Structure 1
Amino acid sequence: MTGTDAPVPDVETTVVSSAKGRHGVLSTATLKRFAINVASLFSVQMANMLLPLLTVPYVVRVIGPERLGLLNFSQAYVAYFTLLINYGFDMAAVRTIAANRTDKELVNRTFSEVIAGKTILWLLSTLIFMGITWFSPEFRSHLWLHTCTYLSCIGIVLFPVWLYQAMEDLGRVALFNLIVKILFTLSVFVLIRKPDDYIYQNLSVSVAQIVVSIIAFWIALRRFRLTFTWPSIANLKTRFIENSTLFFSSVTITLYAGSAVFLLGLLSNAYDVGIFSAGTRLESIARSFVTMGLNQAFFPIVAGAFGRGREDGLRVVRTTFFPLLAFMTLVSIGLWLIAPLFIAKFYGDQFLDAIRVLRVVSLLPITIGISNLLGFHTMLNLRMDKAFFFITLGGSVIGLLINILFIREMGYLGAAYAWVSAEAFIALAMYSYLYHKGIQVIQGAYLREAVVFSKTRLTTLFK
């Protein structure tokens, strides 16, 4: 019997010791920090849902499906440069700092290396962006739109969301994001008055992001008592080499999850991009309610548990699986049921084709929730970076092939089917790999513990 197959401890003993904050799955202090962070992120997601209720119906009726498609195509184009700038630094830095939060020298060194690395990659990305956008007639025809969108990359360099995440101080991140949403909402009504004003939507997002990122950067320096010093070439080289696997993993994830809009723009038309974007918007917002809490607030906790020991980390993952699956299933059912009403009321009759898209992608909360738990939280914390990369690479290849085939045949609906298929493959492959390695994440014995633990923790929190 392997270590991962050890008998499950008595549930009541576990809950009691956990309530005292000594052993168990999560201590009371840890859970309270997690609850505060999730509540902060929840407030941001409420803003993400409520503020668009004011702007999106107004904007789409002014600019129409085609121009909405152009806006989303530009965002998908710039997302590739964002991917290069991030280079996997964020996930690696969170993993390192969360396990060594009291080591001030390590935190300061990691902070400096990440900011310096992102700055170098931003300079490289700017040169590539200028070359592609200027010399490609298709991109040059919308030069100013793409430039306005690309300005947001400055915010990607400066916003140390990964640092706040590792320090479990996401309340401030929530506040910063809320400020961005409010500034953007106000600017939409001022700037967008006629169809040709659509370019101002992405410009306002970029400017708001830059301003808030500068403020967040300055506050991080003061709050965590950091000093930025340009790292040596040797340290930067080591940082790039160590984070390369996570970078290529993020590339593959973007290829299958973020390329649908881009491929629709290349292989289909702006109308299909607009319909697909409208159909996937609610799913994206709804899923982020859980995935933001799971990936941003919960990841440092899991990383810390794995830092104490392999079994501690696996136990947290196993206990989390069943509540996550149940909640994501409810989210998916809700999306499928509400699709006709949401599209008709939110976007109008021009976007009724998006109903079918939303119903197809309503399966994503389940598949992505499971793959995040198996991949980000389990495989990466067990340092299975290469396996994680090859699985996501396989998913991206399958996703791209299905996208190209289905988009040509079914347009926006084909892109939706391709996305769901790729995510399902990723989740199944991750589970199979962990099972092959003797790590059984889904254990029925932990169902009872998850129920008792959740009930006890909620009671403790409300008290």
Structure 2
Amino acid sequence: MLSKDAAAMDAVAETEEPSATLSKPVMKRFAINVASLFSVHVANMLLPLLTVPYIVRIIGPERLGLLNFSQAYIAYFTLIINYGFEMAAVRTIAANRNDKELVNRTFSEVLAGKALLWGLSTIIFAAVTWFAPEFRAHLWLHICTYISCIGIVLFPIWLYQAMEDLGRVAMFNLIVKVLFSLSVFVFIRQPDDYIYQNLSLSIAQLLISVVALRMAIKRFKVTFSWPSVEQLTKRFRDDSTLFFSALMITLYASSSVFLLGLLSNAYNVGIFSAGTRLESISRSFVSLALNQAFFPIVASAFGQSREQGLRVVRTTFFPLLIFMLVVSITLWSIAPVFITLFYGKQFQDAVQVLQIVALLPICIGVSNLLGMHTMLNLRMDRAFFAITAIGSVIGLGLNALFIQRFGYIGAAWAWVSAEAYIAIAMYGYLRYKGVQVIKRESLQEAVAFGRERFSILFK
């Protein structure tokens, strides 16, 4: 039950309009940033997909599985390098853009922290890849994939995100990724050429990162100075909860491919990867592009007041839920046609995988709004970590159990089950703390508000 203070604040929130936070200029900037971020994810996910019909007919399901297994392996090092810096930096800078000293300090601490963690990751990568026979067997493939980690250190998309200025870097990202994605038609001519797929993506990521960093320094007039040991220690300590939360999310969301490679075979990895690719692209529009563009707006609203932030979240909930429901139904319906068209008849087993993971957009869209936008902005970092940690344990346990019995089908159901638990647990925790995000009366208001804002955008 809500406390008197919480009830009073909710009553105030009911009388406030979100128009101050979601004004015409903000919504137009938001639309530009959504389109820009979506182009980044199109480049990262859709462009490789456009080359799939050509590639898979040369390399086959097994080598496609090796490519995706290598990407899943390197994802753990990407996680270490990011550490949670980016989410914390966006949250800090978005609420304090005019504080030049704070922006410069955050910029320096994040780059320095990432550089140090890249050094640590490189040592771990070299040791594991060389001394583990199953990794050493594909040494050059993993090296080609790991090159992208240098780009992860340098790519300041978090700064562009916090400043709500993503257009230029997104356009450059799109052009470069198009060129490098098309290069596979030149370099992949026989099955053993498959490693060039990951190599081209890594080089593209590195090039984009260097140019984007130079543009950010010039555009936002930020300066880098190596932080003190005390500053770095504080940064690592303050962002540790977000890091462990991201670690838990990665363990259950990205480990399916990795565990399939360890507990099963490359064919199962290839089928699972083919079945989940379209879902990942579809979900990226909301769970990645839309969330990243929307997060600074919500952070700014919470910076004004708790009530204003919750008002924005409530206004967003029902439109998000309806949109993700449409996405899920569409994915389930087109699965047979899509798999046959893009992958060929040898990937027919991937149809069932895609129809299972079609449930993910709903689960992840809701959990992102409740967790990333609400819990993190309310500084419920520890509770966020605890829920994702339990979800990770559930996901890993179900993966270990289901993969050995059901292969790629078991991995798909394990992923969906973990995400469903997290969405339900986050809703339950917020209600327990007296934060009511979902209200029936918000539906009618969201429809009216959305109609008004869409009319503004299209004008």
Deviation at 1:8, TM superposition (A): 6.2
Q: Is the aligned partner of 1:6 residue 2:11?
A: yes
Question: Per-residue displacement from partner, 1:396-429 (whole Å, max 9, x unpaired)?
Answer: 0000000000000000010000000000000000
Contact preservation (8 Å) 1:179, 1:212 = no
Contact preservation (8 Å) 2:41, 2:289 = no
Deviation at 1:462, TM superposition (A): 2.3
Residue equivalent to 1:32: 28
Contact preservation (8 Å) 2:356, 2:412 = yes
Question: Per-residue displacement from partner, 1:159-209 (whole Å, max 9, x unpaired)?
Answer: 001000000012123223313421322211111000000011111111111
Residue equivalent to 1:208: 204
CA distance in 2, matches of 1:246, 1:145: 30
1:63-462 pair list within 5 angstroms: 63-462=59-458
Q: Structure 1: which 5+ runs fail to align?
A: none
Percent identity between matched residues is 72
Deviation at 1:48, TM superposition (A): 5.8
Question: Per-residue displacement from partner, 1:327-378 (whole Å, max 9, x unpaired)?
Answer: 0000000000000000001100110000000000000000000000000000
Question: Per-residue displacement from partner, 1:6-26 (whole Å, max 9, x unpaired)?
Answer: 27646xx948xx3xxxx3x51
Matched AA of 2:334: I
Contact preservation (8 Å) 1:332, 1:362 = yes
Contact preservation (8 Å) 1:82, 1:153 = yes
Deviation at 1:294, TM superposition (A): 2.7
Deviation at 1:47, TM superposition (A): 5.0
Label 1:3 to 1:77 Cα distance change in 2 as closer, same or farther (>3 A). Answer: farther
Label 1:45 to 1:111 Cα distance change in 2 as closer, same or farther (>3 A). Answer: closer
1:12-23 pair list within 5 angstroms: 14=17, 18=19, 23=20
Label 1:276 to 1:430 Cα distance change in 2 as closer, same or farther (>3 A). Answer: same
Label 1:216 to 1:138 Cα distance change in 2 as closer, same or farther (>3 A). Answer: same
TM-score (norm 2): 0.96
CA distance in 2, matches of 1:70, 1:33: 40
CA distance in 2, matches of 1:264, 1:9: 49
Contact preservation (8 Å) 2:181, 2:201 = no
Contact preservation (8 Å) 2:156, 2:213 = yes
CA distance in 1, matches of 2:145, 2:284: 22
Contact preservation (8 Å) 1:56, 1:346 = yes
Matched AA of 2:230: A
Question: Per-residue displacement from partner, 1:246-288 (whole Å, max 9, x unpaired)?
Answer: 0000000000001000000000000000000000000000111
CA distance in 2, matches of 1:442, 1:223: 39
CA distance in 2, matches of 1:268, 1:72: 14
Contact preservation (8 Å) 2:115, 2:153 = yes
CA distance in 2, matches of 1:103, 1:282: 41
Contact preservation (8 Å) 1:8, 1:446 = no
Question: How many pairs are equivalent?
Answer: 454
Label 1:247 to 1:44 Cα distance change in 2 as closer, same or farther (>3 A). Answer: closer
In structure 1, the residue corresponding to 2:22 is in which secondary structure? Answer: coil
Q: Structure 2: which 5+ runs fail to align?
A: none
Matched AA of 1:424: A
Deviation at 1:29, TM superposition (A): 1.3
CA distance in 1, matches of 2:241, 2:40: 31
Deviation at 1:32, TM superposition (A): 1.1
In structure 1, the residue corresponding to 2:379 is in which secondary structure? Answer: coil
Of the structure 1 ranges 294-303 and 333-342, higher mean CA displacement relative to structure 2 is found in 294-303
Deviation at 1:309, TM superposition (A): 0.4
Label 1:53 to 1:238 Cα distance change in 2 as closer, same or farther (>3 A). Answer: closer
CA distance in 2, matches of 1:86, 1:46: 21
In structure 2, the residue corresponding to 1:228 is in which secondary structure? Answer: coil
Deviation at 1:461, TM superposition (A): 2.1
Question: Per-residue displacement from partner, 1:33-57 (whole Å, max 9, x unpaired)?
Answer: 1011112234445556763454110
In structure 2, the residue corresponding to 1:6 is in which secondary structure? Answer: helix
Kindly report structure 1 stretches of 4+ aligned residues shifted beyond 3 Å.
7-10, 42-54
Matched AA of 1:91: M
CA distance in 2, matches of 1:356, 1:243: 39
Label 1:4 to 1:278 Cα distance change in 2 as closer, same or farther (>3 A). Answer: farther
Of the structure 1 ranges 163-172 and 410-419, higher mean CA displacement relative to structure 2 is found in 163-172
Deviation at 1:4, TM superposition (A): 5.1
In structure 2, the residue corresponding to 1:438 is in which secondary structure? Answer: coil
In structure 2, the residue corresponding to 1:447 is in which secondary structure? Answer: helix
CA distance in 2, matches of 1:241, 1:151: 28
Contact preservation (8 Å) 2:336, 2:351 = yes
CA distance in 2, matches of 1:449, 1:364: 27
CA distance in 1, matches of 2:416, 2:458: 38
Of the structure 1 ranges 44-53 and 375-384, higher mean CA displacement relative to structure 2 is found in 44-53
Matched AA of 1:6: A
Contact preservation (8 Å) 1:94, 1:300 = yes
CA distance in 2, matches of 1:420, 1:98: 32
CA distance in 2, matches of 1:177, 1:355: 31
CA distance in 1, matches of 2:114, 2:159: 14
CA distance in 2, matches of 1:348, 1:462: 39
CA distance in 2, matches of 1:173, 1:7: 40
Matched AA of 1:198: Y
Contact preservation (8 Å) 2:129, 2:135 = yes
CA distance in 1, matches of 2:378, 2:361: 24
